[in-house]
Chains A and B, each alone.
Chain A
């Protein structure tokens, strides 16, 4: 993010797809309570793509553990984590980003996977093949995290806010 900031103030036109403008997993800054205030990419998230990621097994697979109005039309949700239908009433954008990036900073010892993290992994695998990982990549890309955060921001029950 800092890099992006420098680039912008230097007057360089920002191209969304430009590589190197993203905050790397190791460089993400968390607040004391686990929130992440700055966007990982500077590019606004796309909630529609966020929904795809949240409901795809090989991507976020949020649906495996959470129910939410946003995906109640799809089959087979889990209930390991709380219902997310009104989660934006409980958490602001920075908190939601922190939870998706690495929920262990917000909820100590949670079973929720860290979606933008490459540290402290034991026997990381190559997808669902059971073979060792060829390279260590976070579960979601920086933009995919932003897309999921954009989706979660729409998870509001009317009346509040």
Chain B
């Protein structure tokens, strides 16, 4: 953790101590009315939106996790000079332009500049591929590396992959999340929804127990959000690095004292699709900053 991150984490704890002890809060209301996110003063981010129709009876409105964070953390995400994730984005862009593998190609050889080739891609991931399989962004990247470049696949949860997904997510910054939930995606989405409401582990808690029934409340020191993934991969101050979507989902399942699902598993792809769809209408944040 760098100095800045540590200071922010310290501030976070101090602020929580002040808040802790508060009475139960109402869930599914705007946690921070009137607060808006405009990154670098020129890129407005939609951090609150009407919930998609399929969430009727569950959520009326959806809110970015950014709204639940304390001011210093929010400020870091609002300014790329302060956002510690940006160095990883830059490394991802370097890798994008680097020739690798037996075919002598870089990503740019085929896709051109990342800002054109990858615009809007994150906003529709995960998505069903031409063979009818549900693929996460990581799968698409490795497919190109292995089958089109003759290069080694990246490990799902390691630096080079997270740098690349960060660089690609950045190209959808400010665009509305818009994953497909119908057609060929429907059966995957339905299984993901069933997972979302399953009470896993010795603690018998579902995603909904915390992120739907209790968002805006505190669990230990953490202000619970709706568990949106529009900001992934996110920079976590506590970890001092990028965290992938599957790593986060796995971590939340582990915390119910459950047997988790492996990163890159079919189950987590399906859960990812469903969670992504709960954010349809919010902006992709590029790379978010979280405690």
Contact = CB atoms under 8 A, between A and B. Distances in A.
A80 B25 CA distance: 8
A64 B205 contact: no
Contacts of A10: none
Contact of A111 (B17, B205, B260): B205
Q: How large is the interface on A (under 10, 10 to 19, 20 to 34, 35 or more residues)?
A: 20 to 34
B109 interface: no
| In the A-B complex, the 3 residue pairs with the closest CB atoms | A76-B221, A130-B260, A130-B254
Contact of B205 (A57, A72, A113, A133): A113
B146 interface: no
A130 B252 CA distance: 10
B227 to A, nearest CB: 14
Interface in B1-43: 13, 16-17, 20-25
A129 B205 CA distance: 16
8 contacts: A76-B17, A80-B219, A114-B204, A122-B204, A123-B259, A124-B259, A130-B260, A139-B203
A143 interface: no
A79 interface: yes
Contacts of B256: 125
B250 interface: yes
A133 B202 contact: yes
Interface of B: 13, 16-17, 20-25, 198-205, 209-210, 213-214, 217-222, 250, 253-260
- Most A-side CB within 10 Å, residue of B24, B204, B213, B250: B204
Contacts, number: 101
Nearest to A72: B21
B57 to A, nearest CB: 15
B259 A125 contact: yes
A79 B258 CA distance: 23
Nearest to B20: A77
B250 A76 contact: no
Contacts of B210: 111
A111 B259 contact: no
Interface in A50-67: 57, 61, 63-65, 67
Given A76-B16, A76-B220, A78-B218, A67 B21 contact: yes
B23 A79 contact: yes
Contacts of A16: none
A130 B259 contact: yes
A79 B221 contact: no
A125 B258 CA distance: 4
B219 A78 contact: yes
B17 A64 contact: no
A77 B22 CA distance: 9
Given A63-B220, A124-B259, A111 B200 contact: no
Given A80-B219, A129-B254, 17 more contacts: A61-B220, A64-B220, A75-B20, A76-B20, A76-B220, A77-B218, A77-B220, A78-B218, A78-B222, A111-B205, A111-B214, A122-B204, A123-B200, A124-B259, A125-B259, A128-B257, A130-B250
B204 A64 contact: no
